[in-house]
Structures are given as C-alpha cells and as structure tokens.
Amino acid sequence: IASNRVSYFYNLTGKSISVDTACSSSIVAVSLAMEDHFLQKTQVSLVIGVNSIITGTLFSSHTMAGMLSKRGRCAAFDASADGYVRG
C-alpha cells in the first residue's frame, strides 16, 4: 500500500505498484518501468528503491549462526566465499 499512498500524496496518476522480490526488488522495479516505457505504455516513470535495516536483531542472529562473512566482503560463486554479506 506504500506505493499507492505516495502516488496519492503527490497526485501521481497511472500504474502504482510495490515490488518485493527479496534482494532484487529495485532492479525488478526498474525493469518493469523500462518495459512499460519501451512498449509506449508510459512516457515517464518514477522508481524508488528502499532498504531499511531498522534493528540489529537479524544481524545478531546471522552472526550467532555463523552465516556472515568474516571478511565482510561478497564472493558469490567463488571458492573463497566465507559467508553471507548484508546488502
């Protein structure tokens, strides 16, 4: 409902959707906007991506479970990968 509230507040018209695909939400939203633009369904698009880490609870539980990278660096699909990195 957040996207609809923003659209209403700014008096924006047209499609108003929220996208939640875990880590790729912002890029998927951009892709959807570009698709509509290329298909000439819209002339202007507004895409807003937000990532809010409000508390440290999830970070703490990931640390205690040994899931986070000790180096704090991403090494996806690499033999040197040593854990997960929050983005």
Q: What are phi and psi of 63, to 5 degrees?
A: -65, -45
pLDDT in tens, 10-19: 999 988 999 9
What is the rounded distance in angstroms from the CA atom of residue 69 to the CA atom of residue 83?
Answer: 4
pLDDT for 28 equals 93
Task: Provide the token pair at 34.
Answer: 């570009």
Q: Are 59 and 46 in contact (CB under 8 A)?
A: no
Q: Does the predicted model carry a pTM greater than 0.75? A: no
Residue linked to tokens 């929050």: 86
User: In what helix (H) or strand (E) does residue 4 lie, and over which residues does it extend?
Assistant: helix 2-9
- Residue 87: what pLDDT? 66
Integer Cα distance of 36 and 29 in angstroms? 11
pLDDT digits (tens, 9 = 90+) for 23-76: 788 899 999 999 999 999 999 999 988 877 788 888 888 888 988 888 888 888
